[in-house]
Structure 1
Amino acid sequence: MDKDKKWIYYLGLIAVSIIWGANFGVSRSAMETFDPILFSFLRFGPAVPFFFLILLIKEGSVGLPWKAVLQLALIGLIGVTGLEIAVMYSIKYTTLANASLLNVAPWPIFAALFAPLFVKEKFTRRLGVGGAAAIVGVSFIILGGAEGLNLSSDHMTGNLLAFGISIVGALFNLACMPLMKRYSSLRVSAWFIMFGSLFMLPFTAGSWGKVDWSELQTGHYTAIVYNVLICTVFAFVVWNASMFKIGAARANFFRYVVPAAAVVAGLIFFDEGITAWQIIGALFMAAGLVWISTEKKQPVQAG
């Protein structure tokens, strides 16, 4: 990989993580109006035509062989429908801090462990050291907040669900990699998001009538547009393209920027404080990610 282009992909991963983290602030008020699953559908469903339009303009066609279509239907069911609903319920049955830590922190570890099952990526010493520093950093960021870690048995269901999300999410990312090798990250993204949206639609059946659509304000529409165009269309195109070039194991450690961006969003949108532990954690995380991204030899990938 060209050294100059490598930095573009790392910047892409960081930018998307900031976008996803900021979305906690953008969407929090909208979630008071919309059922969480309905809001998830409003994020992914309207994005589908944009994906296929971009795909048609860029690549001249949108089709896939039936075998790949069936694979992406399963990936969409698990990686979009299943994960999005699971995230909502994990937050419902445990604290936000617990859900964030157990969802975010183990995800890159599982991606690194499972990577050899899908692609030929080397787990290097630099990745291990940088990843460990980033894990310490993201733990400080999440646990340094007001809630902290709550190990009460009352939260066990949500804790286990959040931990399961990190395993399934890592497998979801890795399952896309061989398909991206044969087709393109854009084509793969368009199809699995389409299927994920279709499978999610039945779960919204009882939610549409609960929304007073005539009372929606500019902020609600802004949140939906931000989720559709920025958090989904732009973010998935950039993330998957960058992940394919950098490698899934390495790229997923950049998910640790998400909770850091969420903390900053909380400060900007809701005047929430930032603690010294969170600042220390951000420094640890940044050091770990810089250490990972400056490795000269990139892992070899194969379909």
Structure 2
Amino acid sequence: MKHERKWMYYMGLALVAAIWGANFGVSRKAMDTFDPVLFAFLRFSLSLPFFFLLLKIKEGSVGIPLKAAWKLILIGLVGVTGLEIAVMYSIKYTTLANASLLNVAPWPIFAALLGPLFLRERITSRLVVGGIAAMAGVCLIILGGSEGFDLSSEHMIGNLLALGISFVGALFNLACMPLMRQYSALRVSTWFITFGVIFMFPLTLHAWGKVDWGSLTGSHYTAIVYNVLICTVFAFVVWNASMFKIGAARANFFRYVVPASAVAAGYLFFDESISTWQLTGTVFMAAGLVWISLERREPAAPVITL
């Protein structure tokens, strides 16, 4: 990979993570109107025509072989339907600070540790040092907020669920990599989202009638468009293509940009304060990610089998 192009992929990962982080603010008001699972269904289902159109234009076909279908069905069920719903319930049963920390911080660590099951990516000393700095930074960003971290027993179910999301999410990313080696990141993304939407639809049946569709405002439609076109179509295409080129272990550390972006969105749109600890954490996180990005040695190619 040429050095200039490598930086393009790293910038793509950081941009997507910033977009996902800003989406906490964009979607916050929409949650007052939409059931969370219904909103997630709208996000992914409305994105599908764009994915198939892009796939047809770029690659000339949209199908997948049957031998890959069962893998994509499982990935869609776990990675789209399961994870999206689990995130909603983790927020419900614990604090937002707990959910943010446990959803985000361990994810790259699990990806690096579980990587040998799917890939031949090396864990280098630069990745370890940069990862520790970035993780310390994201902990300061989240814990430096007003809520702090709460280990009381009433939040234990939500805490365990949030930690499980990090573990399963890392497996989800890693399971996609060998398929992307065979069928392209765009084709894999299109089809696991398709299957995820199919499994998610029955879980929304109770929610459609609860929405006063006639009272939707421009802000609701803006939130939907942002989620569909920016957070899903653009973000999934760029993230998965960049992750495939950079490697899952390195790419997933860029998820640490998500909470920093969420804090910035809260400051810009909701007049939330930013503490000195959060600013310090942002510096640590950015330094760790830059240190990882300066790695000149390339990760080995993914193993083809699942």
- TM-score bin (small chain): over 0.9
After superposition, give the CA deviation of every residue in 1:70-118 in whole Å (9 maximum; x if it has no partner). 1101100000000000000000000000000001000000000011110
Q: Which amino acid aligns with 1:264?
A: A
Q: Which amino acid aligns with 1:149?
A: F
- Number of the residue aligned with 2:267: 267
After superposition, give the CA deviation of every residue in 1:5-56 in whole Å (9 maximum; x if it has no partner). 0000000000000100000010000000000000100110110111011000
For 1:40-59, what aligned pairs fall within 5 Å after superposition?
40-59=40-59
Equivalents in 2 of 1:81, 1:269: separation in Å?
29
Q: Does 1:244 align with 2:244?
A: yes
**Partner SS state of residue 107, structure 1:** helix
- Number of the residue aligned with 1:18: 18
For 1:168-187, what aligned pairs fall within 5 Å after superposition?
168-187=168-187
Shift of residue 67, structure 1, vs aligned partner: 1.5
Equivalents in 2 of 1:301, 1:287: separation in Å?
27
For 1:223-302, what aligned pairs fall within 5 Å after superposition?
223-302=223-302
- Number of the residue aligned with 2:62: 62
Shift of residue 273, structure 1, vs aligned partner: 0.3
**Partner SS state of residue 168, structure 2:** helix
- Number of the residue aligned with 2:195: 195
Q: Does 1:3 align with 2:23?
A: no
Equivalents in 2 of 1:292, 1:73: separation in Å?
33
- Number of the residue aligned with 1:206: 206
Q: Does 1:117 align with 2:117?
A: yes
Equivalents in 2 of 1:52, 1:255: separation in Å?
26
Q: Which amino acid aligns with 1:247?
A: G
Shift of residue 298, structure 1, vs aligned partner: 1.6
Shift of residue 228, structure 1, vs aligned partner: 0.3
- Number of the residue aligned with 2:129: 129
Equivalents in 2 of 1:223, 1:215: separation in Å?
15
**Partner SS state of residue 46, structure 1:** helix
- Number of the residue aligned with 1:38: 38
Aligned residues: 303
Shift of residue 69, structure 1, vs aligned partner: 1.1
Equivalents in 1 of 2:92, 2:301: separation in Å?
38
- Number of the residue aligned with 1:94: 94
**Partner SS state of residue 214, structure 1:** helix
Equivalents in 1 of 2:197, 2:273: separation in Å?
36
Percentage of identical aligned residues: 73
Shift of residue 63, structure 1, vs aligned partner: 1.0
**Partner SS state of residue 45, structure 1:** helix
Q: Which amino acid aligns with 2:301?
A: Q
4+ residue runs over 3 A deviation: none
After superposition, give the CA deviation of every residue in 1:120-169 in whole Å (9 maximum; x if it has no partner). 10000000000000010000000000000011100000000000000000
Q: TM-score, normalised by structure 1?
A: 0.99
Shift of residue 269, structure 1, vs aligned partner: 1.0
Equivalents in 2 of 1:298, 1:291: separation in Å?
14
RMSD between aligned alpha carbons? 0.5
Shift of residue 259, structure 1, vs aligned partner: 0.2
After superposition, give the CA deviation of every residue in 1:143-202 in whole Å (9 maximum; x if it has no partner). 000000011100000000000000000000000000000110000000000111111011
**Partner SS state of residue 61, structure 1:** coil
Q: Which amino acid aligns with 1:220?
A: H
Equivalents in 1 of 2:262, 2:301: separation in Å?
32
Q: TM-score, normalised by structure 2?
A: 0.98
Equivalents in 1 of 2:49, 2:241: separation in Å?
19
